[in-house]
Amino acid sequence: MSTRRRSSKAKWLIPAAVLVLAAAAAAYFFTPGLSRPRTGTGDLLLTVQEEGTVLLTWPEPSGGALSRVTLRSGEGEEWTLEESRETSAVLDAALLDHPLHITVQAAVRVKNLLGIERELVSRDALAVTVQPYAAPRPVLKGEASKPGELKLSWTDRGSYELGILEEGICRPFKQVGDCGSVLTFGEAGELPLPSYDDPAQITLRAIREGEGYLLCGPWAEPLQVMRESLLGSELSLECQSLGERLYALRWNETKGDRYEVQEWSAGEGRWETLAQVARTEPLRYETGMLRSGSDHRYRVVSLGGDPADPVEPAELSLRAEISTRYATVWPVVDVDFFEDAALTGSLGRIPAGTALCVLEEQPDVFQVRWKDRYGWVDSRFCMINLPEYIGDVCAYDITNSYSSIFMVHDSPIRDITGQVIQGFEGICTEEDGFLVPYLYPCARKLLTAAQAAEQDGYRLRIYEAFRPNEATRFLYDTTLEQLNYPLPEFDEETGEYVFYEPPEEPEETVEAIGNVPGDPEASENGADPVLPEEDVPAPPAPPEEDTAVHPEENEDAAGLEDPEPQLPPTQEDGEPQLPDGEPQLPDGESGLLPVDNPSDVPEEELPEGPTFLQVMTDGRFEISSFLAAAVSNHNRGIALDLTIEYLDGRPLDMQSAMHDLSWYSAAYLNNANAKLLASYMTMPGVAFRGLTSEWWHFQDDDTRDVLSLGSYLYKGVTAEGWTRDNIGWRYRDANGNYLRDTTIKADGKLYTLDADGYAQAAS
């Protein structure tokens, strides 16, 4: 009985003991919330250092585990490095004299369910065998081969790695082979250009790749690479558009300490400095807003470089785009001033001849400022300043504003030739050159002709556009007075012309009657003499009260087709036969137009010799063929006097000089150059009409007819008023000078103008 009970109890205790042991084992090995760590992925890196050590670096294990590194030398000696969170260790370089076996595992210390601390080691491992290698320390040399490139060389062949020393640490960036390599710097290079105060330090080390590891030798002595050594001696310049007539010049970096931006001044015949840019500053210069259509020639000069390796300046030319923004305009008639571009909402009426500044253009309208208000005017009735609109597409020489070239063939006209013509006083400005007003619709046609000429290698040169009516009348009256005078004689001793002096008229004497002071028969009050009523001189007539705009008084004779003149004899080839010397005058008075002698000097008292009239007309033309007596189309801003030249400024010869008021200028004598000029001015899209008496004169009759433009300006124009650029508003006086460092009152307000003439806030 008892034996069976003991046997049954033993059967039960054995399984129970097994279960207890299994549970205890599970509790020991089970680590709640943690799994076995893994080693990092990658290769081992062994770096031989100068002090005779080797820096061993391995991949970081996952999960923040510790690193367990086991080393076994070729002699069988084995040891394990202290487990740590570091991923590198320093070894004795002598270990590399023999094969070295390295095993890296990840380990983590945790507590099991029993609270007992235990270590989990990764099942995977990095196991490599490093073969012996005597890594040399190379000697690195470098030489700048071309801009942005450094040619590197060393002695031994093999595999190498380039590095750059940054903050005391060498950062490898490129593997190379053989005994040399080319390293590039700059925006498109492998490394950025070093700064001027911090040269790049390039170094090199030998490398050997094994299975699962990379063995690197010691770094070479760093090579100092100065920024200057990577710069070239070739300077290039480019232009970038920043918006309407705004440009930026950009250039590459070259040898030198600084750069100078210059612009060519044709007037001065030299380069003028615009700015100096330090080599550490952005290599860029902004031009500011340029005048419409203006030509500019810029260059950049590198300064302070090696005289033995000079840098040639870089140069470019540009033409600003053409637009009306900020151009000066003058209404040729009184124009309405409106609130909007649809020309509605009247703000007043602007008098003709008022200088305005275009702020914006829309079809057939300009936005302008007038009396401190902003509004819109009809652009078709505005003359625009050609140099501020089409710019250097044309050339300008408004001689009437400084020294008139009106002559009768080779003979000067007293009070006209070499003088400033009445009404042109404010046209030649010191700061902005000539004012050349021309009706805007005509100016657009002129631009077409000028661009066509430029494409063929020519430039149109304008001598006169708008001419005030006061100048027209002055020119006619002054010339008419001298028509029957003989031509002046040139005095070689004085170098001046001697003009004919008409005899002075005898003074008329009038016998006084009545009370004379001191006369015994004088009245008691001593009254002044009393003159007969018919002998009392009339007081001088007051000056004519001319308004700015005159209605058309009569059609300008110079604006009509002249009758076909009698042609001179022709050569065999059909070209006109020009007379030698002075023109052949007809016999007697036949063929000469009956013109009264303005001087009332009897002809028998005139010296012998041809007169202005004879040389001017030769019986073929009238004075009004050259000078209008009352109204000229120049007064309406639709006529031009111009010639043609090469792009370098050399003039093309014509059959007569500009403003030669004689039959030598007749269109039927046009040479090939005059015909070329006419071809541009009458081409489709331009269709100006010339005169038979002047090869240089062209006018836009179509625009005159479309606008029914019968009015004209009597007085001349000036630049006086507000003008603007991309910086701000400035004020010009009647001579075109910008007022500076002053306070002015305009439009009922006080404005302070700074040193550059720009207006500050009004008060």
pLDDT digits (tens, 9 = 90+) for 409-446: 999 999 999 999 999 999 999 899 999 999 999 999 99
Are the CB atoms for 615 and 409 separated by under 8 Å? yes
Q: What is the pLDDT of residue 508?
A: 58
At a CB cut-off of 8 Å and minimum separation 6, what does 556 contact?
Answer: 628, 630, 631, 632, 633
Report percent pLDDT > 90 for the chain.
Answer: 66
Q: How far apart are CA 587 and CA 602, in angstroms?
A: 20
> Taking 70 as the threshold, does the pLDDT of residue 572 lie above it?
no
Encode 120-147: b = buried (16+ Cβ within 10 Å), e = exposed: bbbeeebebebeebebbebebebebeeb
Long-range interactions of 227-232: CB distance < 8 A, separation 24+: 227/193, 227/194, 227/195, 227/196, 227/199, 228/196, 228/255, 229/144, 229/150, 230/144, 230/147, 230/148, 230/149, 230/150, 230/185, 230/186, 230/193, 230/194, 231/147, 231/255, 232/146, 232/147, 232/148
Q: What is the pLDDT of residue 65?
A: 87
Q: How far apart are CA 637 and CA 10, in angstroms?
A: 134
> Taking 60 as the threshold, does the pLDDT of residue 692 lie above it?
yes
Widest distance between CA atoms in the chain:
201
Average model confidence (pLDDT) across the chain: 84
Provide the terminal-to-terminal Cα distance of the chain, rounded to the nearest Å: 131
Are the CB atoms for 411 and 487 separated by under 8 Å? yes
User: What is the mean pLDDT of the segment spanning 719-747?
Assistant: 94
For residues 566 and 63, the model is more confident at 63
Encode 78-102: b = buried (16+ Cβ within 10 Å), e = exposed: eeebebeeebebebebebbeeebeb
Q: What is the pLDDT of residue 512?
A: 37
Q: What's the pTM?
A: 0.73
Q: What one-letter code names the amino acid at 688? A: F
> Taking 80 as the threshold, does the pLDDT of residue 510 lie above it?
no
Q: How far apart are CA 435 and CA 387, in angstroms?
A: 7
> Taking 60 as the threshold, does the pLDDT of residue 252 lie above it?
yes
At a CB cut-off of 8 Å and minimum separation 6, what does 215 contact?
Answer: 46, 48, 96, 130, 133, 135, 207, 208, 209
Q: From the CB of residue 727, how many other CB atoms can be counted at a distance below 10 Å?
A: 11
- Number of helices and strands in the chain (H, E): 7, 49
Q: How far apart are CA 671 and CA 662, in angstroms?
A: 16
Task: Give the angle subtended at the CA of 195 by the CAs of 190 and 201, to the nearest 5°.
Answer: 60
Q: What one-letter code names the amino acid at 673? A: N
Which parts of 371-515 fold into alpha helices (H)?
386-389, 440-455, 469-481
Q: What is the pLDDT of residue 653?
A: 97
Q: What is the pLDDT of residue 168?
A: 85
Identify the weakest region by mean pLDDT among 65-74, 377-386, 521-530.
521-530
> Taking 90 as the threshold, does the pLDDT of residue 385 lie above it?
yes
Residues composing the chain: 763
**433 φ/ψ angles, rounded to the nearest 5 degrees:** 80, -150
Q: How far apart are CA 48 and CA 557, in angstroms?
A: 104
Identify the weakest region by mean pLDDT among 193-197, 386-390, 731-735, 759-763.
759-763
Task: Calculate helix-pair angle for 672-681, 440-455, nearest 10 degrees.
Answer: 130
Are the CB atoms for 623 and 483 separated by under 8 Å? yes
Give the β-pairing of 159-166 and 496-498: unpaired
For residues 195 and 583, the model is more confident at 195
- The string of DSSP codes covering 279-303 is TTS-SEEEEEEPPTT-EEEEEEEEE
Q: Among all chains, which residue has been given the structure tokens 């002046």?
A: 488
Structure token digits, residue 263: 């612009």
> Taking 70 as the threshold, does the pLDDT of residue 553 lie above it?
no
For residues 449 and 135, the model is more confident at 449
Are the CB atoms for 30 and 114 separated by under 8 Å? no
Identify the weakest region by mean pLDDT among 269-283, 601-615, 699-713.
601-615
User: What is the mean pLDDT of the segment spanning 102-109?
Assistant: 88
Q: What is the pLDDT of residue 143?
A: 92
**How would you class 697 by CB atoms within 10 Å of its CB: exposed for 0-12, middle for 13-18, buried for 19 or more?**
buried
> Taking 60 as the threshold, does the pLDDT of residue 64 lie above it?
yes
**271 φ/ψ angles, rounded to the nearest 5 degrees:** -85, 135
Tens of pLDDT, residue by residue over 533-550, are 333 333 333 334 333 343
Instruction: Classify the C-alpha dihedral 557-558-563-568 as positive or negative.
Output: positive
Q: How far apart are CA 193 and CA 187, in angstroms?
A: 8
Q: From the CB of residue 200, how many other CB atoms can be counted at a distance below 10 Å?
A: 23
Q: How far apart are CA 431 and CA 485, in angstroms?
A: 41
Domains in the chain, start-ordered, CATH in brackets? 44-130 (2.60.40), 141-230 (2.60.40.10), 237-319 (2.60.40.10), 328-383 (2.30.30.40), 390-500+546-563+591-719 (3.30.1380.10), 723-763 (2.10.270.10)
Query: Which three-class secondary structure state does DSSP give residue 730?
Result: strand
Q: What is the pLDDT of residue 677?
A: 98
**How would you class 402 by CB atoms within 10 Å of its CB: exposed for 0-12, middle for 13-18, buried for 19 or more?**
middle
At a CB cut-off of 8 Å and minimum separation 6, what does 738 contact?
Answer: 431, 730, 731, 732, 757
Long-range interactions of 209-214: CB distance < 8 A, separation 24+: 209/159, 210/128, 210/129, 210/130, 210/131, 211/128, 211/129, 212/43, 212/44, 212/126, 212/127, 212/128, 213/43, 213/44, 213/45, 213/46, 213/102, 213/128, 213/130, 214/43, 214/44, 214/45, 214/46
Q: How far apart are CA 237 and CA 262, in angstroms?
A: 12
Q: How far apart are CA 359 and CA 409, in angstroms?
A: 45
> Taking 60 as the threshold, does the pLDDT of residue 714 lie above it?
yes
Instruction: Classify the C-alpha dihedral 454-457-459-460 as positive or negative.
Output: negative
> Taking 90 as the threshold, does the pLDDT of residue 83 lie above it?
no
> Taking 70 as the threshold, does the pLDDT of residue 32 lie above it?
no
Q: Among all chains, which residue has been given the structure tokens 């200028």?
A: 665
Q: How far apart are CA 694 and CA 632, in angstroms?
A: 14
> Taking 60 as the threshold, does the pLDDT of residue 112 lie above it?
no
Q: How far apart are CA 169 and CA 667, in angstroms?
A: 86
Q: How far apart are CA 719 and CA 734, in angstroms?
A: 6
Are the CB atoms for 177 and 160 separated by under 8 Å? yes
Q: How far apart are CA 1 and CA 370, in angstroms?
A: 136
For residues 540 and 606, the model is more confident at 606
Q: What is the pLDDT of residue 133?
A: 83
Element (H, E) at 128: strand 126-130
Q: Is 256 left (phi over 0), alpha (psi -120 to 50) or beta?
A: left
Q: How far apart are CA 433 and CA 447, in angstroms?
A: 20
**How would you class 521 by CB atoms within 10 Å of its CB: exposed for 0-12, middle for 13-18, buried for 19 or more?**
exposed
Distances (CA, A) of 86 to 66, 67, 71, 453: 8, 7, 16, 81
Q: How far apart are CA 276 and CA 463, in angstroms?
A: 38
Q: How far apart are CA 599 and CA 618, in angstroms?
A: 21
> Taking 80 as the threshold, does the pLDDT of residue 505 lie above it?
no
Tens of pLDDT, residue by residue over 208-231, are 999 999 999 999 999 999 999 999
Give the β-pairing of 246-251 and 258-265: unpaired
Q: What is the pLDDT of residue 574?
A: 35
Report percent pLDDT > 70 for the chain.
Answer: 81
Under the banding of pLDDT at 50, 70 and 90, the label for residue 15 is low
User: What is the mean pLDDT of the segment spanning 241-261?
Assistant: 95
Identify the weakest region by mean pLDDT among 103-112, 316-325, 408-417.
103-112
Tens of pLDDT, residue by residue over 619-647, are 788 999 999 999 999 999 999 999 999 99
Element (H, E) at 2: helix 2-29
> Taking 70 as the threshold, does the pLDDT of residue 106 lie above it?
yes
> Taking 70 as the threshold, does the pLDDT of residue 45 lie above it?
yes
- The string of DSSP codes covering 333-348 is S-EEEESSTTS-SEEE
Task: Give the angle subtended at the CA of 621 by the CAs of 691 and 630, to the nearest 5°.
Answer: 70
Structure token digits, residue 353: 């001849």
Tens of pLDDT, residue by residue over 135-187, are 788 999 999 888 999 999 998 888 999 999 998 889 999 999 888 999 999 98
